Chains A and B, each alone.
Chain A
Amino acid sequence: MASINYALKEISCKIVYYGPGMCGKTTNLQFIHQHITEDRKGKMVSLATPGERTLFFDFLPLEAPSIHGFDTKFQVYTVPGQVMYNSTRRLVLRGVDGVIFVCDSQWEKMRENVESFHNMEDNLASYNCSLDTIPYVVQYNKRDLGNVAPVRFLDWLINHRQVPSYEASAVEGAGVFETLNHACRLVLSNLRSKQQRGAL
Chain B
Amino acid sequence: MRKQVDATGVVTVVLLGVAAVLLCAQLTRLPALFAMDQGQALVLELLLYAFALALSKSDCTPRGYLIGVGAMFLFRLLITAGTMAWLAGQTGAPVVKAGAQVWTSAPARLAAVVFALLMSYPLAGLLPERPRRRRQPLPALVRQELLLSVAAAPREVELPSVEDEEPAGFGYVPHLTQRTVRPIEGKVQVPAEAISSQLPASLLLPGGPSYQGEVEVPLALVMPGLQEGEVKLALPDLVPYLPAGLVREDLDLFTADDAPTVSLPLEVVVPQLPDHVLEREPVEPPTWLRVDPALERTLFARA
A189 contact from B174, B227, B285, B290, Cβ within 8 A: B290
Contact with A along B275-286 (1 / 0, CB 8 A): 000101001011
- A4 surroundings in chain B (CB, below 8 A): none
Residues of chain A within 8 A of B227, CB atoms compared: 114, 157
**Is B286 touching A149 in the complex (CB atoms < 8 A)?**
no
With CB as the reference atom, state the residue of chain B lying closest to A189: B292
Classify chain B's interface size: 35 or more
In the complex, are the beta carbons of A86 and B171 less than 8 A apart?
yes
Chain A contact surface mostly = helix
Interface presence of A111 (CB below 8 A)? yes
The yes or no answer to B169 lying at the interface (CB within 8 A) is yes
**How far is it, in angstroms, between the C-alpha of A148 and the C-alpha of B170 when the chains are bound?**
23
Q: Show 24 A/B contacts (Cβ-Cβ < 8 Å), sorted by A.
A: A32-B300, A62-B300, A64-B299, A68-B294, A72-B299, A86-B170, A110-B229, A111-B229, A111-B230, A115-B172, A118-B174, A122-B170, A133-B286, A157-B227, A161-B283, A162-B280, A163-B289, A173-B302, A177-B300, A181-B300, A185-B291, A185-B295, A192-B292, A193-B287
**A149–B265 Cα gap in the complex (Å)?**
12
Is B303 part of the binding interface, using a Cβ–Cβ cutoff of 8 Å?
yes
Query: Contact: A116 with B170, CB < 8 Å?
Result: yes
Closest to A135 in B: B288
Which B248-302 residues have C-beta < 8 A from chain A? 265-267, 270, 278, 280, 283, 285-292, 294-296, 298-302
Q: Which of B178, B283, B292 has the most CB of A within 10 A?
A: B292
Contact flag A186-B302 (CB < 8 Å), given A110-B230, A112-B229: no
A184 adjacent to B299 (CB under 8 Å): yes
Q: Cβ of B265 and Cβ of A119 under 8 Å apart?
A: no
Q: Which of B128-172 contact A (CB under 8 A)?
A: 168-172
* Contact string against B for A residues 162-177, beta-carbon threshold 8 Å, 1 for contact and 0 otherwise: 1110000000010001
- B interface: dominant SS: loop
How far in angstroms is the closest Cβ of chain A from B250? 31
Identify which of residues 98-126 in chain A touch chain B, using a CB-to-CB cut-off of 8 Å: 107, 110-116, 118-119, 121-122
Q: Which residue of B lies closest to A65 (CB)?
A: B299
- Residues of A contacting B288 with CB < 8 Å? 133-135, 186, 189-190, 193
A147–B291 alpha-carbon span in the complex (Å): 34
The 3 nearest A-B residue pairs measured at CB: A110-B229, A111-B229, A111-B230
Within 8 A of B (CB), among A32-81: 32, 35-37, 40, 62, 64-65, 67-68, 72
Q: A83–B178 contact, CB under 8 A? A: no
Q: How far is the CA of A10 from the CA of B198 in the complex (A)?
A: 58
**Which of chain A's residues have a CB closer than 8 A to the CB of B286?**
131-133, 135, 161, 163
Cα distance A153–B292 in the bound complex, in angstroms:
30
How far does the alpha carbon of A110 sit from the alpha carbon of B302 in the complex, in Å?
A: 30
Name which residue of chain B comes closest to A109, CB basis: B229
Q: Please name the residue on chain A nearest to B299 by beta carbon.
A: A64
Find chain B residues with CB under 8 A from A160 CB: 178-179, 280, 283
Partner of B278, one of A36, A114, A119, A152: A152
B300 touches A36 (CB 8 A): yes
Does A156 lie at the interface of the complex (its beta carbon under 8 Å from any beta carbon of B)? Answer: yes
Taking A156-B278, A185-B291, A185-B299 as given, write out 10 further A-B residue pairs in contact, using a Cβ cutoff of 8 Å, ordered by the A residue number. A83-B169, A83-B170, A110-B229, A110-B230, A111-B169, A114-B227, A114-B228, A118-B172, A119-B171, A160-B283
Q: Are B291 and A186 in contact (CB under 8 A)?
A: yes
